[in-house]
Structure 1
């Protein structure tokens, strides 16, 4: 018929126009009705009745659509061999309920007749009107309920003849789709649930207690349907599903027809292992996708393709969510799972990605967005890529924040990248060996443990703020910021590591700071506070004049050629200070030890140098120098084999030992050597250009030593005892 081998005649029995085969014969005595120049023949009543009963041809020998006894629907066959269902009269709410003992759609398709008059179809050409419908009447929703122990097989297109309608296929025994689709359908629902109806015959929803929907072979093509819903206890996708808006709701639920809101109910039998399973051969391609597994402990698995090509992709699971294939959206991706998320595939959104689970989020693939990526999890274990502001070609965009937050431990040892800001916050944070970059600011927080950046590259174009209740470890790592950097930790280990700030750098460490072979450098001010500091072969450096300060309540060890230096003022404070390296300042230097200070290295300033020790200050083999005033104070000052030099010198000590050491003033200002007890200058040298020099120790030993002044003033020595065997005491002025 759809090839034009039909004609339209008036059936006197049905009092309507009907489409018949072109060989049908009209009653000669009946007047014909026509349009235009042609006339329509009229069927004899007997022929018309036969046609009406047979649908223009005989019924199928092997029926694939069989109405249940007492159903208001009838099944006919079209001229080209398709089964045509004359649907039951709709309720006042426009819902037509049709019950079947079998509903299988073959590859050539089938029709649901929703027209009271003759109408043209895509699959069967013109078909007669449905006598179950009153003139002008049609259904808005066509419910096809299957009461059978066998699943329905949908291998062709189910077409609505007449006004477009919503089509529902409901079979609690299951549905298999293999080349299925819909024509002239506004919304399609495939469900293993039982329909629920309101008092006025409206469709309220479905009770889904069991049953599977399987998509295989030639798949499901519903791109010509506004919305497609798959509602079952479990859905297996082994082939492609194409749709506009695709919703998959699984589990034992009462599902609302309008909103698809699901309320859990008791299921039949044991729960499936996986509620939604997309195999490697399967895929979902739609403008927008919503997947929900609502049964407790039952998860979702994608090893194929989930592609929301013009909107958002939403995944929710009351079990585990496994993403091992391609999961992408032109909009945003929202993934929520109770028992964890495992991403070993590529999950990418052109807008935002939000992943939330109370379990562990595991990532060995790519989890990224062109805009923001937000992860909230019980714990995170990522060896793959976590990204925000990542373009589809892998390049970095100009915007996009990465937020990785966990109540437990975070381990992200792969690549972590943000076009803008990044936040990594957990009970502990392990980024060891990773590459972590943020073009904006980076915040790292370990609320109950360590931050491990060892052998990692951690960079931010803006500021870095790192806080750990435990240890921040950056051994062999690189922690670099274009802006300021703040570190607060229980301990800091930067052994052979680099901590470099493009602005100021502040490190507040409760216990030990290990910078052995490491570098802590700032373009601005550098402020380090710790319980103890070990800078053996390390570097603390401030590149501008904003100042450098390193303080330790315990030991500050600047051994093995360690360097502490700045282009501004430098302040070094410790309970005990050991310097076997260099501590220098382009401006003023202040070095203070509340207990002992040992300087075998260099303490130097272009400006003033103030060196103070609460007990012993030892400069054995070391040097203290200042371009201006060098001010040294200690209970005991030992400058044996050492050198103290300044434009002006001021020393104050209970006792001074200068064996083979030198104390030299190069300027003409006053020189002060305030020694209360013994001044032992054996084999040493005290030399000044000052006008006057006054020495008043309790005892002066200058055996083989030199005490000289080049100024024209007075050299005064007041001492209870004097030993000058082989020594020299000389002045250019008066003695």
Structure 2
């Protein structure tokens, strides 16, 4: 305002010094009748003439003609209670004069005098305008509180119509059809509503902005109609019969009254409601709320409560939305909130879309909960219904929960940032369900990304569970009475548990669990199951494609360290399958132990495990012809186990256990870290090679348990360590060998036939209750060996070693009633003599002698080549002298002849005969005497030679084989009767034999050789 105008206004106000003078100037003394419209004022507002003076306000007009009400003097509680016969507000509005000063500025009336009723008490806090007649009120313009702020109340039990109404300069406006309730102190408690309606016309009301802005607007009536837009800051609509508390703004229902409408609050297609905060309450029993246009609480909460049906279009509550129907249903098209949404209905809740940045809670207590479109929440979401839930796409930033006594049907995708939980009495049917979703990452990438926590828990007490896919960052639990079907994928970053009744099936496409898997139900079928931990499956039957446990999902992904994306397994993750019927599976890979138990057949294409494998079929077979490869023991149990002719493909460095009624390994080569066969029928092994080794960490042990064990001559059973047989009867024609210890316990008889070998590198124990026959076989122990009864504490019935070999490197202990060691037949001995002469051979170098003569020079002790010299001189004519020309040997012994016997023994002798001459000096000469013929074919009867006479005893008939019982250590025999027939019992150390009767029958054939030396020289023969 410019300075000149401010000065002019000040001058004017200095003249108008009193309200009386001002009123005379304005209304009377100057005769400005044009400013008044008495007939208009009377038509709009009429004071109740029957009311007490303290309740009759003065109806005047502002200088510009706007009706003005000098409200009555307020009581001690600040309440100005004004009563009217008729109360209406025209388009120009009305002024409640609450100005206690002389003069003031009104927005509707301009410059106005103050209210003389307020000179003493001051301005009112609450201006109550009560209509006491049977006339309705029409509010078609604004109402202004002139002066100090005050609450404004228009109370008309007959009804109020608002079509462009509003309020100025009031923090709290109330329109009500209730009757005021004021206590003795003058305090306004509230209103009692029994009837009437409040209707907003096509122009509606703007309580939000401009001149008509009001902080709080309360509309309290039995019924409220919105036929035009209404806007405000904090709007409360309380409909129905009841007691309204003015201070708390709460409505309490009265006793049921007849004449009720279907909707206590009813908005037409044009009746929009918008405010910072909205609260709608319909208390009357069975009466509801219908808003056919939008409602919006743009800053605060939108709260709507009705006993009856709630029918809404699009509603928004910035601070939250709360809808509650105590006895009927809630129907809405679109509900959104920047905070929470809470909806509760006694019967149905039917929505098109709903969204909350905070939590979302919807409860249909006894009806159907249905959401046709999307439902989202930034916080928790909880949907519950006793009858059924039918929704489409859902998303929550935190936990999500469904609870219904009937079916849960979800047509679209469900994403929960936290735990997803659904409990239903009937079926649960969904497309994609996901718990623990990383919403931010999912939105960025455009595909489903799971976070760190939040699983899925679906439970159907009487129905089935059916979904397209289920994902969970945490545990996934599916519990159903009538079965579970997940047509594509179940994925959990933790554990998965699926439980159904025994007669209900479990079906899914693929299951991936970073943790463990627990499945229990009827028929179980799926394409693939991959678990990072253990997997336990129990059902009526199993039909599966691929099963993996102990899979390291992280390290199996393509990475610099794993460029091909090869599967990597932990050293954990066992697999257990139990089926009342059969088990049919394609491929099994397990990081730990595998345990399959079936009432019928067990079929697999391939089994690979890093632990042990135990397969048990009660009444069917096991597909041993396919690959079963594990690092631990393999245990197979079935009525019939056919591993014959190398048809099995079982691989393990550890022990192979076979248990069944019929076990057939004939024609096969089986090499394992151990063998353990337990058969209820005879174990008949032919043309087989069975071997237990230790080179890859196996025990090297073999154990056979059967009523009878038969081993043919083409079979080898070799144990690198211990070999144990427990049987009723044993017949061995093959080779049974143990690298360490051997123990055969037989309650019946044992036969080790001609081709049979029982061998133990360490100690052995043949414990037989019946007869043990070693029929030309071999029983050999490098350590100790004992023969006892089956208990190992007494005697066997008998031990017969017929042309067999029982040989022990250590001690031999035989405890038996009867011991017989015999050859296969009785021998016959004949004698033969042979004679031969053996010539001596000249020593080496003798070929250098002249005429074969040997010369010796006795002076020098040398032997060699020489010559004779005959003197032709007259004096010495005829005299012969001997000369040694070339020495060849240094001693006489070197000149000896040698004779070699047939056995290679070499004898020596001096076989040179001295040839004397008439006169010898120191040189002598000798002639070789080793020739039988002296020359000219004349015999030399004294030639040097040796003679050999051999006397040989031979068996003209002898046993093909003797019985041999031999101990390199001590021998202990404790028997009632011992027979040794043409056989050998031999001890390397001590022999301790106890018997009542001992019979030993034997035959020995000798060969003697007699040698003679015929040197016929001055020497003898020696070797």
1:163 match: 148
- Aligned partner of residue 533 in structure 2, secondary structure: coil
Give the CA deviation at 1:488.
4.1
| Preserved CA contact (<8 Å) 2:355 2:377 | yes
Give the CA deviation at 1:565.
3.0
| 2:542 is equivalent to residue 534 of structure 1 | yes
| Mean Cα deviation higher: 338-347 or 113-122 | 338-347
2:326 match: 338
| 1:425-463 deviation per Cα after TM superposition (whole angstroms, max 9, x unaligned) | 3434614224444333235253632351x2333222223
Match of 2:77 among 93, 101, 108: 93
| 2:41 is equivalent to residue 64 of structure 1 | no
Q: Hey, what's the Cα distance between the residues in 2 that align with 1:658 and 1:174?
A: 107
1:450 match: 463
| 2:347 is equivalent to residue 322 of structure 1 | no
Give the CA deviation at 1:340.
5.4
TM-score, with structure 1 as normaliser: 0.80
Shift of the 320–604 alpha-carbon distance from structure 1 to 2, 3 Å rule, reads: farther
Give the CA deviation at 1:656.
6.5
1:555 match: 580
| Preserved CA contact (<8 Å) 2:97 2:115 | yes
Give the CA deviation at 1:284.
2.5
| Mean Cα deviation higher: 255-264 or 599-608 | 599-608
| Mean Cα deviation higher: 257-266 or 590-599 | 590-599
| Preserved CA contact (<8 Å) 2:735 2:756 | yes
Match of 1:112 among 87, 96, 106: 96
Shift of the 480–238 alpha-carbon distance from structure 1 to 2, 3 Å rule, reads: farther
Q: Hey, what's the Cα distance between the residues in 2 that align with 1:330 and 1:629?
A: 71
- Aligned partner of residue 339 in structure 2, secondary structure: coil
1:40 match: none
Match of 1:75 among 48, 59, 81: 59
| Preserved CA contact (<8 Å) 1:596 1:617 | no
| Preserved CA contact (<8 Å) 2:394 2:413 | no
2:361 match: 374
Match of 2:632 among 608, 626, 629: 608
Q: Hey, what's the Cα distance between the residues in 1 that align with 2:357 and 2:735?
A: 76
| Preserved CA contact (<8 Å) 1:342 1:361 | yes
Q: Hey, what's the Cα distance between the residues in 2 that align with 1:215 and 1:664?
A: 100
Give the CA deviation at 1:389.
2.0
Match of 1:388 among 377, 380, 386: 377
- Aligned partner of residue 518 in structure 2, secondary structure: strand
Give the CA deviation at 1:520.
3.3
Q: Hey, what's the Cα distance between the residues in 2 that align with 1:660 and 1:154?
A: 113
Match of 1:231 among 220, 224, 240: 220
Shift of the 714–461 alpha-carbon distance from structure 1 to 2, 3 Å rule, reads: closer
- Aligned partner of residue 249 in structure 2, secondary structure: coil
Flag structure 1 segments of 5+ consecutive residues without an equivalent: 25-45
- Aligned partner of residue 579 in structure 1, secondary structure: strand
2:472 match: 460
Give the CA deviation at 1:161.
0.8
Q: Hey, what's the Cα distance between the residues in 1 that align with 2:758 and 2:341?
A: 83
Q: Hey, what's the Cα distance between the residues in 2 that align with 1:591 and 1:232?
A: 78
Give the CA deviation at 1:281.
3.0
Q: Hey, what's the Cα distance between the residues in 1 that align with 2:154 and 2:339?
A: 35
Give the CA deviation at 1:183.
0.4
Q: Hey, what's the Cα distance between the residues in 2 that align with 1:663 and 1:296?
A: 92
**CA RMSD between the two structures:** 4.4
Shift of the 449–583 alpha-carbon distance from structure 1 to 2, 3 Å rule, reads: farther
Q: Hey, what's the Cα distance between the residues in 1 that align with 2:198 and 2:75?
A: 28
Give the CA deviation at 1:157.
1.2
1:674 match: 704
- Aligned partner of residue 132 in structure 1, secondary structure: helix
Q: Hey, what's the Cα distance between the residues in 1 that align with 2:309 and 2:571?
A: 56
Q: Hey, what's the Cα distance between the residues in 2 that align with 1:357 and 1:189?
A: 28
Q: Hey, what's the Cα distance between the residues in 2 that align with 1:661 and 1:248?
A: 98
TM-score, with structure 2 as normaliser: 0.59
Q: Hey, what's the Cα distance between the residues in 1 that align with 2:642 and 2:162?
A: 89
Q: Hey, what's the Cα distance between the residues in 2 that align with 1:267 and 1:693?
A: 95
Match of 2:343 among 319, 331, 355: 355
| Preserved CA contact (<8 Å) 1:205 1:256 | yes
Q: Hey, what's the Cα distance between the residues in 1 that align with 2:463 and 2:298?
A: 41
Shift of the 488–708 alpha-carbon distance from structure 1 to 2, 3 Å rule, reads: same
| 1:282-334 deviation per Cα after TM superposition (whole angstroms, max 9, x unaligned) | 333222222222122222334432322222222222223334x3222222333
| 1:380-433 deviation per Cα after TM superposition (whole angstroms, max 9, x unaligned) | 444533433279xxx999953323334555433334332223332343461422
The aligned length equals 688
| 1:235-286 deviation per Cα after TM superposition (whole angstroms, max 9, x unaligned) | 2223332222221111111111111332222465422212233444333322
Q: Hey, what's the Cα distance between the residues in 2 that align with 1:235 and 1:652?
A: 89
Give the CA deviation at 1:502.
2.2
| 1:339-379 deviation per Cα after TM superposition (whole angstroms, max 9, x unaligned) | 4554553323322333334434444x333322333344436
Q: Hey, what's the Cα distance between the residues in 1 that align with 2:642 and 2:159?
A: 90
Give the CA deviation at 1:617.
4.7
| Preserved CA contact (<8 Å) 2:484 2:500 | no
Q: Hey, what's the Cα distance between the residues in 2 that align with 1:643 and 1:286?
A: 89
1:483 match: 494
Give the CA deviation at 1:124.
1.9
| 1:164-217 deviation per Cα after TM superposition (whole angstroms, max 9, x unaligned) | 111111222322222221100120111121212211332121111122222232
Greater per-residue helix proportion: 2
| Mean Cα deviation higher: 11-20 or 532-541 | 11-20
| Preserved CA contact (<8 Å) 2:723 2:737 | no
Q: Hey, what's the Cα distance between the residues in 1 that align with 2:18 and 2:104?
A: 19
2:194 match: 209
Shift of the 171–609 alpha-carbon distance from structure 1 to 2, 3 Å rule, reads: same
| Preserved CA contact (<8 Å) 2:573 2:592 | yes
| Preserved CA contact (<8 Å) 1:219 1:240 | yes
Q: Hey, what's the Cα distance between the residues in 1 that align with 2:279 and 2:668?
A: 78
Give the CA deviation at 1:612.
4.2
1:590 match: 614
Match of 1:411 among 409, 412, 418: 409
Q: Hey, what's the Cα distance between the residues in 2 that align with 1:321 and 1:660?
A: 87
Give the CA deviation at 1:523.
1.8
Q: Hey, what's the Cα distance between the residues in 2 that align with 1:642 and 1:329?
A: 81
Flag structure 2 segments of 5+ consecutive residues without an equivalent: 381-392, 438-452, 552-569, 761-776, 779-1023
